[in-house]
Structure 1
Amino acid sequence: MTTRRPFRWPALLTPNGRGIAYGGDYNPDQWPDEVVDDDIRLMREAHVNTVALAIFSWDRIEPREGEYTFDWLDSVIDRLGAAGIAVDLASATAAAPLWLYERHPEVLPVDKYGHTVNAGSRQSWQPTSPVFKEYALRLCRALAEHYKDNPYVTAWHMGNEYGWNNRYDYSDNALAAFRAWCERKYRTIDALNDAWGTAFWSQHVNSFNEVLLPRHMGGDAMVNPAQQLDYERFGNDMLLDFYRAERDAIEAICPDKPFTTNFMVSTDQCCMDYAQWASEVDFVSNDHYFHEGESHLDELACSDALMSSLAAGRPWYVMEHSTSAVQWKPLNARKRHGELLRDSLAHVALGADAINFFQWRQSASGAEAFHSAMVPHAGEDSKVFRGVCELGEALETLSAAGVQGTELERADTAILFSAESEWATRSQTLPSMRLNHWHDVRDWYRTFLEAGERADVVPLAYDWSAYRTVVLPTVLVLSAADARRLADFAASGGRVVVGYATGLVDEHFRTWLGGYPGAGDGLLREVLGVRGEEFNILGDTGEGDPTEIALTLQGGAGACELTTRLWQTDVTSTAPDTTVLAAYHGPAAADWELGGTPAITCHPYGEGEGVYVGCDLDRHDLARLITALSAVPEGRAGAAPEPGMAAGAGAAASRGLDPSILHTVRVSADGATRFDFYMNRSKRAVELEGVSGEPIIAHQCDPLPSHSGQSGAAYTLGRNAILVTRLVR
């Protein structure tokens, strides 16, 4: 893990600079100037204390090459500052002005088919274009010189959602940069040939000048998966390099204010390796948009769990989310009553100290006119704006109570996330095209909630040694070094839970040999005490074959039936001390010649153990597995927690609660003050008893009369409810 930049949090314009940041993207250049004063009036009514400014304003700041017009921006910033509203000022490079494209069309990206990506949207530029970089950095330096001493600008916002439209560029500039990247990585062409397995399909290259981008090669052609994985890494690195160049250009002139850029982490998008990016920002920021339906709150919490890990346990920043519906999905559901406030405070419950929306005032034109905002088309006399004001009051209440700066308590379990495995599971060369690492992380996260527990989501590259259990869901790519880390973790008393498509290839997409899962030249098999020879892949083939297989799980509460519908590893041998927790049975298993074959196993390894889940299971069946595993004594007694991150405290506090309640805890650095957040995950009302501490927020909650002998208060949590209490020790 690379060295992180020091944590620096942007100050507010409050007397002590503290408070939970609240506001959103502000685009006054979309409106007549007289609207600004009305906006500021409404911002004060809504308790807004910060805005992100000038994200898409390059053409207004530099309407013609070399001509800068800062007067309008100066006026807006001065009026905001006078009203006590801080500015997170963007580098304004996310969307270039059309005059630049007219003058330099060579900066436009190229898609894999060789087509030029036209201007008119965001990020229509090549990350590797020296011409575009020259223009962008010149703008960065001009902004830094002009605003370096402005007291109302308290943070710098680099770019916007890097990679949204130019993650994959196949231009000649990208080709030259990719060749140079490969040479830096491999140093010799023989090393590259070995890593890419170029002996297959006559792909041997004689020099780095022969290296190609994985462009389109025909209707059913399959890209070399090792080449594709390196291209994914390259695209990540090129955009990270561009971010660094922008940041460094501004920091050379204005070093005393913190820098960030907004990540895009939700379980339907995580395009960058943010485990790398997190080390390059002063505070971690994210744009998160809700998933409608029953997974709404769970998906938000899973994404936020990864954000908390990326922030290394420190508070992080919600740069964008939505007050209600967006406009970029096939169907755009609005938020129900209470969800605006519940979603926002759920982010706080998972460690955020800043709640911001896209955008302040809903656009009257353009591609995002029907994207909800803090001030909707209906104006201030609207349910949405009243909800925005209610949220502002709630965040001020939490600020006054001391939530800002407290840290999220860690769970017992870490679900390991790997951007490289997410990229790898998209390959069209795997046993199944239905693999999705990030969705499996989400399903395991929800599984723990269903079991009445809470897990953290931690990048594989980070340090997870202090947890009791780690789970690897479809972590397809495992290096020998990572296999050794897992073995050492188990040997020292930890529980390693390995999913069915984990550890099949190394970091070069080279298959580990000797049987599955083979990571570390068989070390992972040794930890798990199993060896598989083939994968049985199910699906609707139209040939009458069974499409699901039953398995019986043995647990502390007796046997229960589970079902697998996609993937079964044909485990042909187990170590003598391996315990079979579940085996396939029934007519479908017999039809596929899997009757009696181990499906889920547990194997002692050193002071700990390895659990192998050799088939896919839905989250309800996984919850049954977690319950069964909880009856199996773990080898690990626990590890020393980090300051402010007591291992297991959050999970332990949640035990005994109705699984419909998501419970998190934030604690002050000195441990003296504790904030408990309780959220209703279900559509029904849920009773919560034994609540200690002073209620700070009780949104859609009703107190219940205390029962005789009951310790603590009791509440009914309605749909979309959130309860926050404070306990001072």
Structure 2
Amino acid sequence: MAERRTFRWPALLTPDGRGIAYGGDYNPDQWPEEVIDDDIRLMQRAHVNTVALAIFSWDKIEPREGEFTFDWLDHVIDKLGNAGIAVDLASATASAPIWLYNQHPEVLPIDRYGHVVNAGSRQSWRPTSAVFKHYALTLCRQLAQHYKNNPYVTAWHMGNEYGWNNRYDYSDDALAAFRTWCERKYGTIEALNKAWGTAFWSQQVNSFDEVLLPRHMGGDAMVNPPQQLDFERFGNDMLLDFYRAERDAIAQICPDKPFTTNFMVSTDQCTMDYAQWADEVDFVSNDHYFHEGESHVDELFCSDALMDSLAAGKPWYVMEHSTSAVQWKPFNARKRNGELMRDALAHVAMGADAINFFQWRQSASGAEAFHSAMVPHAGEDSKIFRSVCELGKTLNELSEAGMQGSVLQRGDTAILFSAESEWATRSRTLPSSKLNHWHDVRDWYRAALDAGMRADVVPLAYDWSAYHTIILPTVIVLADADVRRIADFAAAGGTVIIGYATGLVDDCFHVGLGGYPGAGGGLLREMLGVRGEEFNIVNESSVARDGSDDDACAAADDPAAIALSNGAMTRLWQTDVTTIAPHTTVLASYQGAAAADWELDGTPAVTSHPYGAGTAVYVGCDLERHDIAQLLESLANVMNHTETANPSVVHTVRESADGRMRFDFYVNRVSAPIALANVVGEPIITYRCDRTSDGTFALARNGVLVTKTMR
């Protein structure tokens, strides 16, 4: 891992520079002057103290090549600063002006089919284009020179959601850069051929000049998995290099202000390997958009658990989330029943010291006109704006209570996340196309909450040795070194829970021989005390792919689910474990008619094996969330988990660096009201929460209670 940059947090324009940051993306270039004055008035009313500015303003800053105009931006920054509102100033490179694309169409990306990705949206540029980088870095230097001494600009916001539209580029620039990247990684062409397994399908290359990009190869052609995984890594690295170039161009001129860029972490995406990116920012930021439905708050907590780990025990920044509905999903649900406040406070409960929205004022035109904002189309006389003001007041109260700068207490269980395993699950060459590492992390996280446990989500690449238990759900890719770390963790007394699709391949996408799971040259099997010979993939539906009655009847002969002896069910994947080592305990096996039909009746499904001073648990099949929760409950003693929390509440604790202040958050995660007893500390925030006559608290749907304890 790279050496991490020193943590630096952007100051507010308060007397001591401290406080929870509150605001959002501000786009005054979309509005006439009189609206800007009204914005300042409403921002002060809402307790807004920071905005992200000029994210998509390149064409306004440089309307023609080499002609830079800062007067309008100076004017806006002065108005904001005089009102006590700090500016997180963007490098403005996320979207280039049309004149640049017209003059240099060679900067446009190419998709895998050879089509040009045309201008007109965001990030229509190649990260490997020397031409585009020249223009972008020129802009960065101009901005840095102009604003290096501006007291109202307190942070730099590099780019915006790197990789949103140019994560995959198949241009000739990318091809040349990929060949260089491969040569730097492997050193010799022989090493690349070995890593990529090019003996298959006559893919051997004789020099790095013969290396190809995984472009479209035909209707049902399958890309070589190691090549595709390396292309994923390459794309991540090229965008990270571009970010560094922008950051360093500004830092050479203006080194005294902190740098960040907004990650995109939610459990439906992991665009980059943010475990790498987190080392390169001064403070970690994220754009998080909610998942409608019953998973809403759980998904938020799971994503934030990863963000807290990426922040390495320091506060982090919510750069974007939404006040209500977005406009880019097939079904754009709005927030209701206090979810705007609940979501924001949930982020704070998980370590965030900045709550920002996209965007301040809802656009009257453009692609995001129907994306909700802090000031909606209906204006200030609206439910949303009143809620925005209420939230600003609440965050101000938390600031006055000394919350800012306190850090989140860690749990004793870590669910390990790997961006490379998430990328690997997208391969079309796996036993099932329905694997999804990040979704499995989310399901285990939610199941832990159901079991009264709160787990952390930690990158595989990080240090997780201090935890009591680690869980690896569908961590398909495990390098030999990672398997060694896992085995050492168990040998030292830790509990390891390995999921059914974990350790299928090494970091070159090579399958370990000798049985499943094969990673680590047999060490993973040795630790688990099991050996599988085959994967049993169950058809989730008896309906034929082509819809014909004949095929449906044939498919109906295949059972769609298999029962376990502990009452659980598996519906997708069962590893056919044929050998168990001495001292391996079978915690559950497959049983019943469906198991017999698949020749699995009595076969071990879940096992436990002592390893050194610790324990290794193997879950050889997919399980539904409630079954995972029951399994975790049954393993509580093995996991050294002695205190069970109320599963209807997410309870987190933040503590000041000196240990004198403790803040307890209690968030209702179910749709029904709940009663809270044995609450620690004195209430400072009671949102949809009432204190009853007997001293307990009644927490309504989406209710939040925050207490403070002085020591």
Gaps of 5+ in 1: 554-560, 637-650, 707-712
Counterpart check, 1:346 vs 2:343: no
Quick one: which amino acid aligns to residue 721 of structure 1?
G
Q: Please give the root-mean-square deviation of Cα atoms over the aligned residues, in Å.
A: 0.8
* 1:183 alignment counterpart: 183
Distance 2:337 2:26 in 1: 25
Q: 1:670: Cα distance to partner? A: 1.7
* 1:410 alignment counterpart: 410
Pairs within 5 Å for 1:555-570:
561-570=567-576
Distance 1:597 1:692 in 2: 47
Pairs within 5 Å for 1:89-108:
89-108=89-108
Counterpart check, 1:551 vs 2:564: yes
**CA displacement, residues 180-207 of structure 1 (integer Å, 9 cap, x when unaligned):** 0000000100000000000000000000
**CA displacement, residues 602-642 of structure 1 (integer Å, 9 cap, x when unaligned):** 00000001000000001100000001111x445x7xxxxxx
* 1:39 alignment counterpart: 39
Pairs within 5 Å for 1:689-728:
689-706=677-694, 713-728=695-710
Q: 1:702: Cα distance to partner? A: 1.1
Q: 1:672: Cα distance to partner? A: 1.7
Distance 2:281 2:490 in 1: 33
* 2:647 alignment counterpart: 659
**CA displacement, residues 36-85 of structure 1 (integer Å, 9 cap, x when unaligned):** 11100000000000000000000000000000110000000000000000
Distance 2:244 2:511 in 1: 35
* 1:646 alignment counterpart: none
Q: 1:313: Cα distance to partner? A: 1.1
Quick one: which amino acid aligns to residue 676 of structure 2?
L
* 1:644 alignment counterpart: none
Pairs within 5 Å for 1:241-390:
241-390=241-390
* 2:548 alignment counterpart: none
* 2:545 alignment counterpart: none
Distance 2:682 2:634 in 1: 36
Distance 2:505 2:517 in 1: 9
* 2:622 alignment counterpart: 616
8 Å Cα contact 2:22-2:355 kept in structure 1: yes
Pairs within 5 Å for 1:580-595:
580-595=586-601
Q: 1:402: Cα distance to partner? A: 1.0
8 Å Cα contact 2:495-2:638 kept in structure 1: no
**CA displacement, residues 409-428 of structure 1 (integer Å, 9 cap, x when unaligned):** 00010000000000000000
* 1:57 alignment counterpart: 57
The normalised TM-score by structure 2 is: 0.98
Distance 2:638 2:83 in 1: 59
Q: 1:692: Cα distance to partner? A: 2.2
SS in 1 for 2:379: coil
Quick one: which amino acid aligns to residue 257 of structure 1?
K
* 2:153 alignment counterpart: 153
Distance 1:552 1:283 in 2: 48
8 Å Cα contact 2:453-2:644 kept in structure 1: no
* 1:685 alignment counterpart: 673
Quick one: which amino acid aligns to residue 700 of structure 2?
G
* 2:659 alignment counterpart: 671
* 2:546 alignment counterpart: none
8 Å Cα contact 1:657-1:688 kept in structure 2: no
* 1:599 alignment counterpart: 605
* 1:77 alignment counterpart: 77
Distance 2:415 2:403 in 1: 26
**CA displacement, residues 642-661 of structure 1 (integer Å, 9 cap, x when unaligned):** xxxxxxxxx87xx4442111
8 Å Cα contact 1:161-1:261 kept in structure 2: yes
State the identity as a percent: 77
* 2:547 alignment counterpart: none
Distance 1:331 1:479 in 2: 39
Distance 1:596 1:694 in 2: 54
Q: 1:700: Cα distance to partner? A: 0.2
Distance 2:300 2:16 in 1: 31
Distance 1:470 1:578 in 2: 19
Quick one: which amino acid aligns to residue 317 of structure 1?
Y
* 1:16 alignment counterpart: 16
SS in 1 for 2:431: coil
Q: 1:519: Cα distance to partner? A: 1.2
* 2:549 alignment counterpart: none
Q: 1:34: Cα distance to partner? A: 1.6
8 Å Cα contact 2:513-2:521 kept in structure 1: yes
Distance 2:705 2:318 in 1: 20
**CA displacement, residues 232-266 of structure 1 (integer Å, 9 cap, x when unaligned):** 00000000000000000000000000000000000
Quick one: which amino acid aligns to residue 594 of structure 2?
A
Distance 2:337 2:514 in 1: 56
**CA displacement, residues 4-32 of structure 1 (integer Å, 9 cap, x when unaligned):** 00000000000000000000000000000
SS in 1 for 2:705: strand
Q: Which aligned runs of 4 or more in structure 1 are off by greater than 4 angstroms? A: none
SS in 2 for 1:691: coil
Distance 2:692 2:572 in 1: 46
Quick one: which amino acid aligns to residue 705 of structure 2?
L
Distance 2:655 2:88 in 1: 27
Distance 1:390 1:724 in 2: 16
Quick one: which amino acid aligns to residue 685 of structure 2?
I
Distance 1:445 1:633 in 2: 18
Pairs within 5 Å for 1:88-167:
88-167=88-167
Q: 1:704: Cα distance to partner? A: 1.3
